[in-house]
Amino acid sequence: MGNTASAHPSKSFFVAMLTRDIDLRDAVLDLVDNCVDGILRTNKDSQPDDADRPYEGFKAELTINPKVFVISDNCGGIPRETAEKYAFRLGRPKGLKDENLPTVGLYGIGMKRAIFKLGRSCSVTTSHGEGVYAVTISPRWMESDTDWDLPLADVPRKDLPKPLRDGTLGTVVSVTNLHAPIAQEFDAKHSLFLTGLANTIATHYAYIMHKGFSVSINGKEIVPKSLGVLVSDRSIPKDQRIEPFIYKTSSNGVEVELTVGLYREIPTDDEVQAEVEGKSTSGSRDTCGWTVICNDRVVLYSDKTGLTGWGLATVPAYHPQFIAISGLVRFRSMDVGKLPVTTTKRGIEASSELYLSVRDVMQEGLKLFTNFTNHWKSRGEERKAMMKQAKAIDPIKAVALLANSPKQWTAVRKGLGGSKYVPSLPKPAPKPETTKSIRFTRPIKEFEAVAEYLFDDKDSDPSEVGNECFERVLKRVKQ
């Protein structure tokens, strides 16, 4: 008889629990996130050539079909010591903190969870510059409750996946023996999964791709969705310029930068109607609203709900007439635990105090542009001329550009402090008056007499009686 009770985890339970709630798409994105974290670690010691495009030259290539899932990157590889001690553990060991980098890896689970979700056999082959080695996961290992170690072995050059054979420093994760439902999803002939995945990558990594990172699926490069905000040329008088509202602050180790403005022309009545009826083909609906970025990853895209301030307090709820408004909020921290993201990193932690304080400012900026839209919605021609002179530019560049107008920046005293740029947006000129109203009062007796005379009815509507008097005189005047 022993004097301990076993509390060892059962691997099958672990694997089932880990993969149950994660969406297949999110599992794949976890692997892409690891590539981007790899770039940050690689760039740590060497400044990128172009500061605006620090991810230039780095890529992730995905090969996905019912037989195999492969993600191959050139993002620096996994150091051998990391692989031996941490990378394959289920969960980040206590006390192990990530480097002082704005990465998103936090829990130490993403890669393993993705592999378990996809299939039963896997190899992770990687080169960090100190030889190439592979860690393999087999169906036998998956099933064993006692074996928690994975074989790690050097790989002869001839057996290496192509990019690593050429000396690239990077990682190739290859999963085979795919679970049947996953293989079905990966069959482009019968499932829309791959199209959806490409769209999600185009939006969620748009910011990183604009900074040089490239991602392809089955040889097809993904084109990032555009991010832009209209800014008028500096030569235009100040009160006629279209510019975004900007807010910047830094609080408790988190940098925040927010821009909201117009990214396209205000829609015509016909377009609004088409949107309301779901008949529009402009695609603008997918771009407007708020996008939230945490450490360069888009965690919320094109949101038009209360989560981002629409319909809260004095801000109107989203309506297609506001389709030209788009906002971008960026949070950045060396400690990913401080960012307002959910544990899957694809959503906002709505109860985060930091986020709620920023949302107050988001509402302020949003309101400026819902008001602007309301003022200009019936002024088609004037509006066209005004908008014509504004160009869509990267919101980050807009911030840099407008930093040169120091007078319009004001300190924010409330909430998280910081400073904001409040544009003085153009106001439509008041319409010239073309009509006048007439009101007057008469004794009832006199009114009834006139009503009887005009309409044979003493109970006629007073405004009709007044109008008829006017019309008769007008006729005489015109003769």
Chain residues binding ligand ATP by CB under 6 A are: 30, 34-35, 37-38, 73, 75-78, 82, 87, 105-112, 171
Residue nearest Mg ion (C-beta atom)? 110
Nearer to ligand ATP, 105 or 224 (CB): 105
Strand partners of residue 122: 137, 175
Closer by beta carbon to ligand ATP, 34 or else 259: 34
Contact residue for Mg ion among 54, 102, 105, 327 (CB under 5 A) = 105
Nearest-5° Cα angle at 333, 197 to 411: 115
Q: Which of ligand ATP, Mg ion, none interacts with 280 (beta carbon under 5 to 8 A by kind)?
A: none
Task: Provide, rounded to whole angstroms, the least separation between the CB of residue 105 and Mg ion.
Answer: 4
Pair type for strands 289-294 and 325-333: parallel
Q: Does 102 bind Mg ion (CB under 5 A)?
A: no
| Partner touching 228 among ligand ATP, Mg ion, none, CB below 5 to 8 Å by kind | none
Question: Can you say whether residue 468 is alpha, beta or left, with left for phi > 0 and alpha for psi between -120 and 50 degrees?
Answer: alpha
Of 107 and 455, which CB lies nearer to ligand ATP in the complex structure? 107
Q: For ligand ATP, which is the closer residue by CB, 40 or 292?
A: 40
Which of Mg ion, ligand ATP, none has residue 107 at its interface (CB below 5 to 8 Å by kind)? ligand ATP
| Residue closer to ligand ATP, measured from CB, 105 or 261 | 105
- Give residues with Cβ within 8 angstroms of 169, minimum separation 6: 42, 74, 76, 77, 127, 128, 129
Cβ 38 vs Cβ 171: under 8 Å: yes
Nearest to 351 by CA among 343, 341, 361: 341
Considering only residues 110, 244, 261, 426, which one is a binding residue for Mg ion as defined by CB under 5 A?
Answer: 110
- Residue 74 has φ and ψ, to the nearest 5°, of -120, 40
Considering the complex, what minimum distance in angstroms separates the CB of residue 390 from ligand ATP?
40
Question: Which CB sits closer to Mg ion, 105 or 170?
Answer: 105
365 binds Mg ion (CB under 5 A): no
Is 171 a binding residue for Mg ion by CB under 5 A? The answer is: no
Residue (75 or 323) nearer to ligand ATP, CB: 75
* Minimum separation from the CB atom of position 110 to Mg ion (A): 3
When asked if residue 418 is in the footprint of Mg ion (CB under 5 A), the reply is no
Cβ proximity to ligand ATP: between 30 and 61 the closer is: 30
Check if the beta carbon of residue 340 is closer than 8 Å to that of residue 294. Answer: yes
Closest residue to ligand ATP using C-beta atoms:
105
For residue 159, the minimal CB distance to ligand ATP (Å) is: 20
Per-residue contact track with Mg ion, 27 to 66, x per CB under 5 A?
Answer: -------x--------------------------------
Chosen from Mg ion, ligand ATP, none, partner binding at 185 (C-beta under 5 to 8 Å by type): none
Burial tier of 399 (Cβ tally within 10 Å: 0-12, 13-18, 19+):
buried
Q: In the complex, what is the shortest distance from the CB of residue 87 to ligand ATP, in angstroms, rounded to a whole number?
A: 3
**Using the rule CB under 5 A, is 423 a contact of Mg ion?**
no
Instruction: Confirm or reject binding of residue 244 to Mg ion (CB under 5 A).
Output: no
Q: Which residues here bind Mg ion, judged by CB under 5 A?
A: 34, 105, 110
